Amino acid sequence: MTCILQIGPLTERFNRCLAAEHEVLRFWEEGGDVLVAQHAQRIDVVVTSGRFGCTAALIEQLPNLRAIISFGVGYDAIDVAAARARNIPVSNTPAVLNDCVADLAFGLVIDTARQMSRADRFVRAGSWPSGGLPLAKQVSGKRLGIVGLGRIGETVAKRSIGFDMQVRYHNRRPVEGSGYGYESNLVELAKWSDFLVLTCPGGEGTRHLINRNVLDALGSKGILINVSRGSVVDEPALIEALMEGRLGGAGLDVYAHEPEVPQALIDLPNVVLLPHIGSATEETRLAMEELLLANLRAFLERGEVLTAV
């Protein structure tokens, strides 16, 4: 029987399914480091997620590790370089969450522009009889900038068609065959955009890609939407820009130090805050679980994963 080190819990349905087919060492509830030290020689596979990751130090402790199978599209918390140095394949669960994350991103565009969450709080607080809210911003016909035109970014762009929006994007290089306008300079894209949506990968290559210069270019009427990773945005610079009125608003599903959210962001009325729920629907999470298990079975049967990083 395969010995699997599961770094963190997923759904109870998944946890039961994995344990029914394999010997599972549950890192998060059995003493972690002590568990690894006791069973290091026996562990064949690490099952993890974009949230829990897998460090180089942990990989080094597992001499017989053969694969890292991850839940989620993001893999910046996994030391892929350390895995590749030992020819250990790493898989994730891309594609199956594109629609779900894109739906949420566009929901944040609409919510932040039209102040829907703020209006809901306003009504619940009994404030309506005393007067109305300030006028909001229209979404239709506006300019949508996308940072990272991968699978999710492309799906966000498709959502904009129904709102008659112009779309431009920033990548390290143009996407071959894309009909959307390419902007090589991120500051110039921010200047052009009414909404700047972040769907790029996390990791050191994109850390603080959205800095003060980009935020100032987006400007006092612009809105930042982040459904990628908190590390992509210089969070203190974002807070300063919002508090000083240099940025019009923000819709955030991810943060620099999750699950901690700065009180300054919580206090701002022009910010919509979500608890990293981009893929959190029953349909998508089931599809992600099924793909993770398919990757695991493919590796155990044929020695290769289906969706390698």
For 205-218, the pLDDT digits (tens) are 999 999 999 999 99
Q: Do domains 3-92+282-302 and 97-273 have the same CATH topology?
A: yes
Per-domain residue ranges for the chain? 3-92+282-302, 97-273
Length of the chain: 309
Tokens for 161, please give them: 């068609």
* Whether the Cβ atoms of residue 89 and residue 305 lie closer than 8 Å to each other: yes
What is the greatest pairwise CA distance in the chain? 68
Question: What's the pLDDT tens digit per position in 152-211?
Answer: 999 999 999 999 999 999 999 999 999 999 999 999 999 999 999 999 999 999 999 999
Structural element, H or E, at residue 256: none
Write down the catalytic residue from 30, 60, 258, 283.
Answer: 258
pLDDT for 269 beyond 80: yes
The contacts found for 158-165 with CB under 8 angstroms, 24 or more apart, are 158/102, 159/102, 159/103, 159/105, 159/106, 160/106, 163/139, 164/140, 165/139, 165/140, 165/141
The CATH number given to 3-92+282-302 is 3.40.50.720
Closest of 276, 299, 187 to residue 228, by C-alpha? 276
Residue 258 among the catalytic residues: yes
**Is 30 annotated in the active site?**
no
Active-site residue flag, 276:
yes
Residue 188 belongs to what H/E stretch? helix 186-192
CB 25 within 8 A of CB 31: no
Query: Looking at domain 97-273, which of 3.40.50.720, 1.10.10.10, 3.40.47.10, 2.60.40.420 is its CATH number?
Result: 3.40.50.720
Give me the catalytic one of 229, 235, 285, 289. 229
Q: What is the pTM of this model?
A: 0.93
Residue carrying structure tokens 């959210």: 261
SS3 172: coil
